[in-house]
Amino acid sequence: MKPSAILLLVLSFVFLTAANAQQLRFPRESQAASVTQRIGLTDITISYSRPAVKGREIWGKLVPYNQVWRAGANENTTIKFTDDVTINGNKLAAGTYGIHTIPSEQEWTLIFSKQFTAWGSFFYDEKEDVLRMKVTPVKASHTEHLEYSFTDVTPNSAMVNLNWEQLSIPFNIEVDVHSVVVNNFKKELIGAPGFQWLPYNQAANYCVINKTHLDEAKAWVDKSIGINKNYTNLTTKARLLELAGNNSEADELKTAAFKIATEAEINTYGYQLLAEKKIDEAIEIFKKNVKDYPGSWNTYDSLGEAYMIKGDKKLAHKYYSTALEMVTDEQTRTRIRNTLKQLQ
């Protein structure tokens, strides 16, 4: 073999070896970050990299106006939804999306793309857009490193804010929480929980409390009663009948339920009524428990709490005092004493 051919072979081997060598990892200037917010059962996760201002003029200079921008640094900024959501009134299916923006001085375009594995916006293709909308930038306090945050969180929504330099880009995410929860119940009830009475009652009770998906609630509570008829599921069905306006049938079920109820079940029902702000109804339930179980300190304690919530300090003090005379557990006695001090 000629010397020149040998040299070429050696050089080719060196270049090939270098190309296939493992690369060491080094810190990036714009560091990776992620933020997650749960709304109901739905997780929303934003993954992004955080460039710094470093004294530079950002808007209109480093980030040009009227051009697609990656809304972060390095790889695609992504947002993932585990369930369907609504963004500023626009529906978006569950999944992962690349976030892009088109900034301008007065109004920005916010883009959700089905392509979320590219490097920034350099390979952005408008044909891959799933959703586009206009958003209004808001003046804000200085944020040195770009940051996404969740604010104004409610049981079914949250505000997402892209904050950098002295600007915030907000958009609202809403979730149909009740539908997500009910659909999750349906999936769970075809598994092991579907052989027991309690999960069916829990699903029905959720719907009753939230006055949603009442047809599913009826089927579930009937299934629960069919597996094991008891005070808890009879009461759930009675409350469902009340929502439908069938009060006489509901009263009959309540009477039947109370005949087989335990002290603990009656007490739990009373607290459920308190949670629904039905204070007077809860008081009547707790009074019945005091009458049926006069030897239980807990019945007097619960009735005292109900009167305290109603604002009747005199009766609250009376029943808490009775509970204190009967209870022996020192921790509980301390708790009741502290409550009595508040009622003075």
| pLDDT per position as a tens digit, 142-199 | 999 999 999 999 999 999 999 999 999 999 999 999 999 999 999 999 999 999 999 9
85-87/157-174 β-pairing? antiparallel
**Cβ contacts of residue 92 below 8 Å, gap of 6+?**
81, 84, 85, 86, 112, 130, 131
pLDDT digits (tens, 9 = 90+) for 262-278: 999 999 989 989 998 99
Q: What is the pLDDT of residues 115-138, one digit of tens each?
A: 999 998 899 999 999 999 999 999
Domain 178-342, second-level architecture: Alpha Horseshoe (1.25)
User: Would the pTM of this model clear 0.85, i.e. be above it?
Assistant: no
CA-CA distance, 56 to 70, in Å (whole number)? Answer: 18
pLDDT at position 10 over 50: no
Domain with CATH 1.25.40.10 in the chain: 178-342
The reported pLDDT for the residue numbered 73 is 95
CA–CA dist 103, 326 (Å, integer): 69
